[in-house]
Structure formats: C-alpha cells, structure tokens
Structure 1
C-alpha cells in the first residue's frame, strides 16, 4: 500500500455523500482546492471535534476557494445522522469498502487497548485546483486540525 506523493495527481474517486448523492473529486478540478480528510468513525468524540472545527471555519475556507470532503467507512445513513446532528456544512462521503482509504494509504493496522485491527488512520490531504497533492497532514490534534489546515493553506498558496 502506497501513500500518494506530494506533487502527484491525487487519486480520483466517486462516492456517495450523506444525502446519497454521488460526489467525484474530479468535479472540483479547475474550480476549487479540496481538503480530503479521512476519519475513523462518525459521532465519536475526536471525529466530532474535528468535523465541528471544520464546520466553524467554513467561511475562511470559502475565502481560500477550498471545499472539504470528509471520508470514513461509515454507511450513508450514519453520515446523514452525524451531519444533521452537528449541522455540518460540507460533504461526508461513505467509503464502506475502504477502497479509497486504501488508495490513499490510510487503511492500516491499528492498535488500541491491546487489540489489533485494520482501520482508518486520521489523515488530511490538501489538493490544489489542478488535482495535485500539495500537502499531507497526519500530525495534529482533532481540536486544532482546522487551525493547522488554515495555516497550511495560507503557506501553500502564498504568492
């Protein structure tokens, strides 16, 4: 399993969002920067903190011509409940078969409380308007992920 490399085109995908609508990465090419963030499970404390942080900086992301796509192995129905409960203002995509997580190299062996299992390693990919991978973020706290992301956007696209 290989992680996409910064500077290369990001792996494309089409998945259903929380409303059962198909969303494709290529739909944003030429128009928006895209934040693709992988999270383990909707409605868990860390994932809720991370999603709400992104929700709260929506206007700042729009100013930077950037949209957010959150991907998890949760089914569409669970994403809908999560999105509605937290009033999220971006798409959550269902990657139940974890095919996209595997393409992005974030479906990995994890250890928790003495157990080993395969799961999503929380990782964020920043993709520019041309579809190229600009940055990979995987060292952050869920509580300040949105701040790290805004700083990264600003430093990545400085004139």
Structure 2
C-alpha cells in the first residue's frame, strides 16, 4: 500500500461525522486542515491526544486551521467520548478503513506476540490549497499538538 506523501492532494474520501452526517475530506480546502488518526476513543493515549488538541483548538482556529480526529469508533462512541471529556475538537468515524487505507495508517501491529491490523497514530497537515504539507507518523502524544500548531502557524 502506498502512503500519502507531502505534495499530494487531500484524498477524495468520505468519513462519518459524530452527528452521523457524511464528511467529505475534499470539502476541507480553503484553509489549513489538520487530520489526525488515533486508535480508540477513551483510552489513555487517545484521550490525552484529544484533550491536547482541545486545549489548543482555539489557537488552531485563530490560525485559520480546522482540526479533525479520526478513528474506527462509531459516531455514537465519538459523541459519548466528546461529552465525557468536554472535547472541542470534532471527531469522525472511518469504520470501513477507507481513509485509513488512503493515508497508509491501517497497518499490521504487534502486541504480546500477536499480530493484528490497527491504526498507526498519525497526523497530516494540509495547506489551504489541499496539498499535504507535513506528516507525522508513529506519533508520541506528549508535545504533539503543540508541534502541529507550530507547523500550522508556519503555513499562515
């Protein structure tokens, strides 16, 4: 599988927003756009990442950027997760892994010797024209949202 590389256009895929409506990624042009993929709602690292993006969400918006978190969890689970932690950052579902495949984040993983398919924590920053400006793969949560915000500010 080919992973998306800087300079590529945002893939023409549709996710499902937390409210259940379709969300076309190609509609996210015209301003910088941060798309982050995470493994699972309400787990330690994923909660911390969502909280970090939420804490900086107003700064992202001031910089003109939109942020969207994506996992394979259902819209109902996203709504529960958002309410539980008072998250500001919107979340979307990709339960069929279409976007995850397009971005190369649906990968084989290993835990305790067991192989399985899962989501590689990754973030993609698109410029206003829809081209991929920067990629972070195998993300470590600590300090990540701040690094992404700095990259957004360097674009604008």
Can you list the C-alpha shifts for 1:50-74, whole angstroms capped at 9, x where unaligned?
Answer: 0000000011101111111111011
Pair 1:109-2:108 in alignment = yes
Residue pair 2:15, 2:92 contacting (<8 A) in 1 also: yes
Q: Distance in 2 between matches of 1:130 and 1:61?
A: 17
TM-score, structure 2 as length reference: 0.94
TM-score, structure 1 as length reference: 0.92
Deviation at 1:139, TM superposition (A): 4.9
Matches within 5 A, 1:87-126: 87-126=86-125
Pair 1:56-2:55 in alignment = yes
Q: Distance in 2 between matches of 1:149 and 1:109?
A: 25
For structure 1, list consecutive stretches of 5 or more residues without a partner in the other structure. none
Deviation at 1:144, TM superposition (A): 1.5
Aligned length: 156
Q: Distance in 1 between matches of 2:26 and 2:120?
A: 24
Q: Distance in 2 between matches of 1:90 and 1:128?
A: 19
Measured on the aligned residues, the alpha-carbon RMSD in Å equals 1.3
**Paired residue secondary structure (2:130):** coil
Q: Distance in 2 between matches of 1:113 and 1:83?
A: 30
Q: Distance in 2 between matches of 1:13 and 1:144?
A: 29
Q: Distance in 2 between matches of 1:96 and 1:44?
A: 17
Deviation at 1:141, TM superposition (A): 2.1
Residue pair 2:11, 2:26 contacting (<8 A) in 1 also: no
Q: Distance in 1 between matches of 2:17 and 2:64?
A: 20
Structure 1 segments of 4 or more deviating over 6 A?
none
Residue 13 of structure 1 corresponds to which residue in structure 2?
A: 13
